[in-house]
Structure 1
């Protein structure tokens, strides 16, 4: 009974102490499709992702009710680094949802205008950015005033604070109301209460890779999809030495002195099978700063077994020793020559495979539709020979005879073949993330059906096409599966290869696009289309993740377009709006929200894209 009453009391006190308005809360997930494009439109770095940040301790004076409830020590503030823009997961600062939505947009605008400012003082940095926004975007003047007015009514009155803190609070209020001025700040023992209209004043530390760190230790997660937003959170961290644990039974401090989780709690999650995984994530959320240490174990021992390369006798058949390819290092702004090695592979499949029964009806329908796309033979007039007389040429000849200027007549019409000269390469992502489920089916099964129906539809036209798949295990093992070469006919052998595809490893997309570009450039066609089918962002087990992988892929796409190719991406990743326009352009990609619709939509998309060819 006491525990039950205590639980109720705790909830009541915490609710009363909370400064926000939960009933007016707005989530980042609901604003993601608006904030991301808006941030880039006002000048923000197009290469950064949009993620949820973690709360940080502020050290300001709390209200007595907050001290009673044990809350208010940490707040969510926005900040930005080279990888992402981090915004609060939920904003309930104001009593009106519209103001909370406006706050998301203001923070994104402020972040866009603060890029490149290396001023260490967060106060000065935020004032500069605010001034720049209001000068460059006059439409924000009135909206900023409304946010300031709403913010000031929620702050602690200066009259209830000690004299030094009261002077600082008055300076904060004056600075918010007059961003065009540089308001002096009095010195105080405590900082002011955080300003929700400003970015985080400090720059959260980022764990740097130590010299000699094995690539396998830089990432321990798989290539699977993110299950929730916790995987997009950014935690402040520091690199430390692993604490020694000899004499584990010797207690050198009083147990009652432990009040937090901040003393070397093991939150490493190398596999998906950790028994204490949920508790580890909970503890990580409660920490102000994560202490990250290397425990001396080999990175290979922490990678799951199903990511090992298969044995040669059961693996796909290699086609040659491998192809060296460059890779773009966005930090150095340099193309690293022969940095990757692509391995062309021929899938081991059962020959003479038939089309799955459930796909025969839609395949027949697609074939009938695509037969109409095949260019019909054309008539060429004024020929010296042909199948029938050209009446227009005959009339011109008769008029010329009457005028006395008769040349050798071409009075016939002949039938000539027509060809729109188009080559299409479909590049499918076969990484480990395709082993996940959408409804009652796996993503890899949806991709397989899409390849079947796309090939059936393309075989009904005269367009040349090739089908390839890719995955990777670090830079020396970029696997490139040949499903159908341009020189091959679509037949039972090709269907067998498609039926044999299975989830692979990681997604080193830049190398696969570069090799696909080289294949397409060799095709004797006037128009060349590279169609990329994926379910996630570029990623690999070494340093090829985050901004590095995105920028390398973007560089490969730009090189393909400079070579005269049309590049288009189709994805089933619901978070692709954060990064895909930066990779392929706003008009060069499409997100299929329901992955099960992909087999039906892919051929239709091809028709729409090639109408102008």
Structure 2
């Protein structure tokens, strides 16, 4: 009875104390694409991605009912850094959905127009936001009325200064003045009391991004057994958390001093109790992590997993693929310093060691025959060309036209009167570059891994291209730091799709990381040697560029973008086919709005790839 009454009280006090408006909530995931378009259209950095912010404790004054109910302590702030525009995952602070949606638009416009100034926050936070607001309203006067409506709605939801102590009230009046008249407040009044609360959150402003601690960068852990597979619980969006690095405690078991030897023979040790072990999975770990304000990471050599995947270790040289040549030095683009680093990477061409020549698998033959029949229409055919100066037969129409012109007094010595039977040519070369990073070891469905889907796609795609007569080549890539970019030769331009090439496709296996910029530059060198009039670089990928030696985030994306720009300047058309569902956040910056496609179901890639090629080259 007491528990039931306590549950009723908890639900009542929580609903009564809430100051947000759940019925008017707007989710970031519903308008993320539109916000990205608005942000870039208003001049925002096209290399930035939009991510959801994690809740943080604000420490501001709360209303009495909120303190009784124990709610309202945390809020998700909008922030901006050189890689990410972080926005609240859900806005329900204003009473109508249109106002909450306008608030998202305002934050995107604020970050786009005054982003560089907000990134530094060299002056006081309130001054920087006033300057950014003034710049935004001056640059886009059409936002003035929307901003005024948002200010009035936000002020109506705040605790009025009359209900605060004098020093906090002075700061609140300064914030209100800064909202109504941007640029009128030079600094915040100081707090006179030691126990004074901080400012109430201002949803119309951008907060400074949390600085990295200990000077350490983000280091990705080794893939675990569940990476790439279906996890037990996955949140709808990836949130951006504050984090810090710390050293693990030296004393692994501080309670060892309380050990009693006689407890070894205690009957309690023999009870059949399901005791939790360090290796056991915790189903509440994700929810516990979301409730933390800051995640602390510590590197330790102690493994808590009950299983170890030995295939993650580096292979011995005797078991690795065969190296071809000494390696090719290639440059890399440093977007922060705006310079090209010459000979910074080394691309190593490789061929599969354990490949065995084999025919097309029996399970793919029926599908391959269907594709060959469809793609035979793209193959060059012999056509009659009229009005030729020489040929095998007379062109009756041309002869009549020439005779009529002569009777009329017109004489054309260069007019042709023959038909010539010549084959037409498509004059097209295609290089397929497949991502063979470690993430392709994940399962695409209940039966196949991503690498299996890539193998089937290359098998069927090769059969389809053979029917067109186009020149084509297959290569794969992965990387392990800049000095070892693995470039797998599967089928070069000068070799047919034979049993040897099919054996190399069947021997493909996941590699390491995704240094895409170097792989694109090497592919450009190869396809540039082809004399074809049109050249297509088709990239199969399952994730964004990434490596473990600083080649991550914005750095890897900008280097890949520069490599693609170089390819376009060389007359090559790059196109990306990806199974990364988050690809819409960075692929438009790399390939343009029409330079990529996202395959939602990886198992559909073998069917989609040949048809996509037909669409890209049908007019060749």
| Corresponding position: 1:433 with 2:439 | yes
Superposition map of 1:195-594 within 5 A: 195-200=202-207, 202-207=208-213, 209-210=215-216, 218-222=219-223, 224=228, 228-229=234-235, 232-238=238-244, 244-245=250-251, 248-249=254-255, 275=280, 282=287, 284-292=289-297, 305-347=310-352, 348-357=354-363, 359-383=364-388, 385-395=390-400, 397-398=402-403, 403=409, 411-440=417-446, 441-594=448-601
Q: SS of the counterpart of 2:378?
A: coil
More contact order relative to length (CA 8 Å, sep ≥ 6) = 1
Counterpart residue number, 1:256: none
- The change in CA–CA distance for 1:477 and 1:5 in structure 2 (over 3 A counts) is farther
For the pair 1:153 / 2:156, whether they are aligned, the reply is yes
Give secondary structure in 1 for the equivalent of 2:93. Answer: coil
Once the two structures are overlaid, the 10-residue window that deviates more, 288-297 or 329-338, is 288-297
Mean CA deviation greater in 67-76 or 549-558: 67-76
Work out the CA distance in 1 between the residues paired with 2:131 and 2:473: 54
Deviation, 1:571, is: 1.1
The CA distance in 1 between the partners of 2:369 and 2:40, in whole Å, is 44
Q: 1:3 to 1:322 in 2, by over 3 A?
A: farther
Q: C-alpha distance in 2, partners of 1:134/1:354?
A: 64
TM-score (norm 2): 0.85
Q: Please report how far the alpha carbon of residue 340 of structure 1 lies from its aligned counterpart in structure 2 after TM superposition.
A: 1.9
CA deviation string 1:198-223 (max 9, x = no partner): 111x441124645xx9xxx8221548
1:114–1:126 Cα contact (<8 Å) kept: no
**CA gap 1:95/1:442 in 2 versus in 1, 3 angstroms:** farther
Match of 2:79 in 1: 79
CA deviation after TM superposition for structure 1 residue 34, in Å = 1.8
1:378-408, Cα deviation, whole Å (9 max, x unpaired): 4344555422102244335545765596959
1:168 paired residue number: 171
Structure 2 distance, partners of 1:230, 1:603, is 32
Pairing 1:595–2:598 present: no
Shift of 1:225: 8.2
- Rounded Cα–Cα distance in structure 2 between residues aligned with 1:472 and 1:7: 55
Give the structure 1 partner of residue 268 of structure 2. Answer: none
Cα distance per residue 1:283-325 (max 9 Å; x no partner): 5544444455566999xxxx97433332334332222232222
Task: Mark the CA change 1:138 to 1:335 in structure 2 (over 3 Å): closer, same or farther.
Answer: same
Partner of 2:41: 41
Any conservation in 2 of the 1:381–1:413 contact (CA below 8 Å)?
A: yes
Q: Which runs of 5+ in 2 are unaligned?
A: 258-277
Residues 79-118 of structure 1 aligned to structure 2 (within 5 Å):
79-117=79-117, 118=120
The secondary structure found in structure 2 opposite 1:586 is coil
- CA deviation after TM superposition for structure 1 residue 79, in Å: 0.1
Residue ranges of structure 1 left out of the alignment (5+ in a row):
252-272
Q: Is the 8 A contact 2:543 2:583 kept in 1?
A: yes
User: Structure 2 CA distance, aligned partners of 1:553 and 1:194?
Assistant: 39
Quote the residue 1:53 is aligned against.
Answer: 53
- Distance in 2, matches of 1:174 and 1:404, equals 87
CA RMSD of aligned residues (A): 3.1
Q: Is the 8 A contact 1:174 1:183 kept in 2?
A: no
The answer (yes or no) to whether the contact 1:484–1:494 under 8 Å persists in 2 is yes
Cα contact 1:114–1:125 (8 A) shared by 2: no
The 10-residue stretch of structure 1 (370-379 or 41-50) with the greater mean CA deviation from structure 2: 370-379
Task: Note closer, same or farther for the CA distance 1:424–1:332 as it changes in structure 2 (3 Å cut).
Answer: same
Secondary structure of the structure 1 residue equivalent to 2:490: strand
CA contact (8 A) 1:431 1:505 kept: yes
Distance 2:410 2:3 in 1: 116
Larger deviation: 218-227 or 106-115? 218-227
Deviation at 1:523, TM superposition (A): 0.9
2-structure distance, mates of 1:61, 1:512: 54
Q: Quote the residue 2:275 is aligned against.
A: none
Give 1:493 shift.
Answer: 2.6
TM (normalized to structure 1)?
A: 0.86
Deviations along 1:29-52, whole A, 9 cap, x unmatched? 222222222211211111112212
Contact 1:307 1:505 in 2 (8 A): no
Using the alignment, how far apart are the partners of 1:545 and 1:406 within structure 2? 67
**Is the contact between residue 171 and residue 183 of structure 1 (CA under 8 Å) also seen in structure 2?**
no
Structure 1 residue 84, shift from structure 2 partner: 0.8
Aligned residues: 582
User: Which residue of the partner structure matches residue 126 of structure 1?
Assistant: 129
After TM superposition, the structure 1 stretch with the greater mean CA deviation from structure 2, 437-446 or 238-247, is 238-247
Matched residue of 2:555: which SS? helix
Are the equivalent residues in 2 in contact too, given 1:219–1:542 (CA < 8 A)? Answer: no
In structure 2, the CA distance between the partners of 1:397 and 1:246, relative to structure 1 (3 Å rule), is closer
Question: SS at the partner of 2:116?
Answer: coil
